[in-house]
């Protein structure tokens, strides 16, 4: 059932994901990297497609499901502070894992459609390689600090909204 806390959690988590993706694109990615569905080309030659939009859409769902339920509480009158804090951290971890796995899978599919892989095992090995590369890019304090701190703030704000607006 839709509640104000779920709506606030979803919208704030989507905004946070957009911001973190902007940090990834502008600060962390090496020059000439490709991310997403390769539509937008940055001045340094990097290709960034719908990366931010897809991440924000995923964060919308994660914020609604992971943070929204504890922020609404069992009776619809808000949750405890510890519950919304841990829900915020959990949502950040879920979003990070989901983003890395899906991005590496899309990258593998994109390369495999060009006919580079002839066997499924080779494609899966390449997927794990892309996954490892993405994990190394994301495990950076420039990305993790705003994501985790922002998710904690989203959890707290959603918890306050859950207590104030029934």
Query: What tens digit of pLDDT does each residue of 7-48 get?
Result: 999 999 999 999 998 888 878 776 655 555 444 555 555 556
Domain membership of residue 76 as a residue range: 4-164
Q: Percentage of the chain with pLDDT > 90? A: 43
Query: What tens digit of pLDDT does each residue of 123-142 get?
Result: 999 999 999 988 988 898 99
The total number of structural domains in the chain stands at: 1
Question: 39 and 84 in contact (C-beta within 8 Å)?
Answer: no
Question: 87 and 71 in contact (C-beta within 8 Å)?
Answer: yes
* pLDDT over 50 (residue 107): yes
Over range 82-102, report the average pLDDT.
93
């Amino acid at each position: 059932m839709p509640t104000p806390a779920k709506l606030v959690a979803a919208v704030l988590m989507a905004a946070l994901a957009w911001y973190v993706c902007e940090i990834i694109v502008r600060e962390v990615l090496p020059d000439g990297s490709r991310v997403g569905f390769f539509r937008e080309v940055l001045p340094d030659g990097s290709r960034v497609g719908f990366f931010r939009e897809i991440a924000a859409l995923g964060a919308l769902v994660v914020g609604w499901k992971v943070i929204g339920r504890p922020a609404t509480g069992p009776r619809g009158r808000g949750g405890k502070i510890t519950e919304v804090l841990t829900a915020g951290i959990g949502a950040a971890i879920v979003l990070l894992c989901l983003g890395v796995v899906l991005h590496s899978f899309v990258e593998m599919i994109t390369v495999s459609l060009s006919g580079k892989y002839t066997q499924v095992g080779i494609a899966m090995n390449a997927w794990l390689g892309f996954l490892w590369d993405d994990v190394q890019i994301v495990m950076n304090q420039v990305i993790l600090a705003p994501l985790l701190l922002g998710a904690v703030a989203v959890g707290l704000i959603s918890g306050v909204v859950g207590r104030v607006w029934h």
